[in-house]
Amino acid sequence: MLDAAGNWVKERLAALQAFSKLSFDAFASLFSKPRYWRETLEQMDSIGVGSLTIVTLTGLFTGMVLTVQSSATLDAFGARSYVGRMVSLSMLRELGPVLTALMVSGRVGSGMAAELGSMVVTQQIDALRSLGTDPIRKLVAPRMIAGIVMLPVLTVLSNAVGMVGGFLVARFTLRLATSLYWHSALDAIKPHDLFMGLLKPLVFGYIIVAVGCYQGLTTTGGTRGVGESTTQSVVVASVLILSTDYFLNLLILKFVYP
Amino acid sequence: MPTLAISFRNVFYTYPGNEDYTLRDVSFDVALGSTAVILGGSGSGKSTILKLVLGLIKPESGVIEVGGVDISGLQESALMPVRAGIGMVFQEGALFDSLSVAENVGFRLREHDKLDEQEFEERVSRLLGFVELGKFYDRAPSDLSGGQRRRVSVARAMAHSPGLILYDEPTTGLDPITGSTICDLIVKLRDLEGVTSVLVTHQLRDAFQVVQSFVMRKNGAFIYNRIEDVELLVGSEFIVLNEGRIVFRGLQRELFRSDEPYVRKFLDGQIPVSVIETEGD
Ligand SMILES: Nc1ncnc2c1ncn2[C@@H]1O[C@H](COP(=O)(O)OP(=O)(O)O)[C@@H](O)[C@H]1O
Ligand SMILES: [Mg+2]
């Protein structure tokens, strides 16, 4: 019993170590040649452009539902005019970064795990190495950069669309004046909200790609293993995103709003 | 100047998570210019030996030398020059399915040599011509038959003119005629390019074809001949592997005379081998 627990802990620690080493090697590879810019651009396209639809839809409906939900509460205090502020701060601080990250993890992180996983089980990774190419440099580093760059971009988009969604409901269902909504929404935003709104997706972008690549590259057990890695990448990334979000909030509360 | 292409001395290996040794006390040499045939049932450790030669995995103990260089303790970056002298044909081809046939074959040229487009096309076309797949330059690997994929894989392995090529079950899962064309390719590389070969297989017929054939170029055509008298064959060594242990090493005539029980069973076709559906060309 204790032995099993000990082994479990040992395995987790070994995995954590391998995970950290993968991240470190990927970043370290950026400081020497060869660098794979073309692959990096391709990944940016695949992550960024490829996720536009789901990120836009998610943002839109989140903003709309926020307005509907919060208007009931705000009306109780006769504060319906604050609905814009409610939507913009919720989107910027929490829902934009977290929901975007969760959606992208489901679409992109799982895709990376599946792609790299099938390259492992069909020996394409071995083939790469035997042909003198470092798979971390060629496959992981470009994805890492693309994830870290594109997640903030997608999150900003999601936030903007969310505020528009909120506005549509406020204007046409709640009959709020256009200027009232936008004044309240935009005036509420302080520099530290922007900071928090950009730091989070940066970290989440790293988590999604690192977990997807790690799960893919450690795939064993043939085609079935690829399926497991894919599922596992979404589960692990989601849990990490939500828990990291909590700790980032603590940090920001401590250092930015003392 | 080393005279051995490969040398294994008392090599032990265990895959992470496995209890038992995958390879135990494996020692053998492959002389430059010769052919080594590694025979053994499924799971006996044949592919593991090839991965060790490439430095894809590291031995637990023992010494592995490739081209006179001890690679057992080398870092990934220090292994790159060693790998530059080796070509590998993986078990199922292991072609990059996101790249065209030409980009697969020219992968190493793209990554390591700064060739202009015209030079690249020339080199790749020549390689595809060698494996008789000139027409397939722009195809996707997924649109090829099993036999064609293996041939592309051979072309990719020989692109940088390595002195040593490792073949991991290059004919498994192919019908006899397609398998035979792959064997002819191996012979052609050995006799016309002077490549040292390690052929891993469990198909005795193919192993014997490679060992017994030789090819000459005459007036632009390739003339294949076969030596039927096994007493005359001295250039190729057979290595028989059973559960990670070498149970036999020697020439073909010695293989036929061996009374080692596993070798006998193997020659009688009683060793179960991996079952892969036969694919045509
Ligand atoms: N990546 C791996 N992890 C764990 N065990 C492995 C792995 N690859 C192979 N093995 C095991 O090692 C043994 C030898 O495998 P391998 O060298 O592939 O055999 P062969 O090529 O002769 O069929 C087999 O029992 C196999 O199950
Ligand atoms: Mg094998």
Kindly list the domain boundaries of chain B, sorted by start residue: 4-268
Q: Is pLDDT of B112 > 70?
A: yes
The predicted model gives A202-230 an average pLDDT of: 95
Confidence class for position A3, pLDDT limits 50, 70, 90: confident
pLDDT-above-70 percentage for chain A: 98
Give the number of whichever ligand sits closest to the CA of residue B46. 1
Q: What pLDDT does B273 receive?
A: 57
Q: What pLDDT does B280 receive?
A: 46
Q: What pLDDT does B115 receive?
A: 84
Question: What type of residue sits at position A161?
Answer: V
Name the residue with the closest Cα to ligand 1, atom 14: B45
CATH superfamily of B4-268: P-loop containing nucleotide triphosphate hydrolases (3.40.50.300)
3-state SS track over chain A: CHHHHHHHHHHHHHHHHHHHHHHHHHHHHHHCCCCCHHHHHHHHHHHHHHHHHHHHHHHHHHHHHHHHHHHHHHHHCCCHHHHHHHHHHHHHHHHHHHHHHHHHHHHHHHHHHHHHHHHHHCCHHHHHHHCCCCHHHHHHHHHHHHHHHHHHHHHHHHHHHHHHHHHHHHHHCCCCCHHHHHHHHHHCCCHHHHHHHHHHHHHHHHHHHHHHHHHHHCCCCHHHHHHHHHHHHHHHHHHHHHHHHHHHHHHHHHHCCC
Q: Is B47 in the pocket of ligand 1 (CB under 6 A)?
A: yes
Beta bridge partners of A171: none
**What is the Å distance from ligand 2's center to B150 Cα?**
15
Q: Is pLDDT of A50 > 70?
A: yes
Q: What pLDDT does B277 receive?
A: 44
Phi, psi torsion values for B127, nearest 5 degrees: -65, -45
Name the residue with the closest Cα to ligand 1, atom 3: B15
Q: What pLDDT does B128 receive?
A: 94
Phi, psi torsion values for B49, nearest 5 degrees: -60, -45
In a domain, A97, yes or no: yes
Q: Is pLDDT of B272 > 80?
A: no
Structural domain boundaries enclosing A58 = 36-255
Poorest-pLDDT segment among A116-120, B16-20, B182-186, B195-199: B16-20
CA distance B201 to B171: 8
Q: Is pLDDT of B279 > 80?
A: no
In a domain, A28, yes or no: no
Q: Is pLDDT of A223 > 60?
A: yes
Instruction: Give me the residue label for tokens 């044909």.
Output: B89
Here the tokens at position B165 are: 């090529």
CA distance A12 to A160: 39
Q: Is B22 in the pocket of ligand 1 (CB under 6 A)?
A: yes
In a domain, A21, yes or no: no
The number of distinct structural domains making up chain A is 1
B69 or A258: which leads in pLDDT? B69
Instruction: Give me the residue label for tokens 């051979």.
Output: B154
Mean pLDDT of chain B: 90
Confidence class for position B233, pLDDT limits 50, 70, 90: confident
Q: What pLDDT does A60 receive?
A: 97
With beta carbons under 8 A apart, name residues in chain B contacting A132.
Answer: 80, 83-84, 108, 111-112
Mean pLDDT of chain A: 92
User: Residue A122: which of B56, B84, B92 has the nearest Cβ?
Assistant: B92
Poorest-pLDDT segment among A68-82, A153-167, B6-20, B178-192: A68-82
CA distance B210 to B236: 9
For the CA of B49, the nearest atom of ligand 1: 17
Measured in whole angstroms, how far is the alpha carbon of residue B250 from the centre of its chain?
Answer: 18
Q: What is the pLDDT of residues A189-206, one digit of tens each?
A: 988 888 888 999 999 999
Chain B residues with CB within 8 Å of chain A CB = 51, 54, 56, 76, 80, 83-84, 86, 88, 90-92, 94-97, 107-108, 111-112, 156
In a domain, A3, yes or no: no
Confidence class for position B276, pLDDT limits 50, 70, 90: very low
Confidence class for position B240, pLDDT limits 50, 70, 90: very high
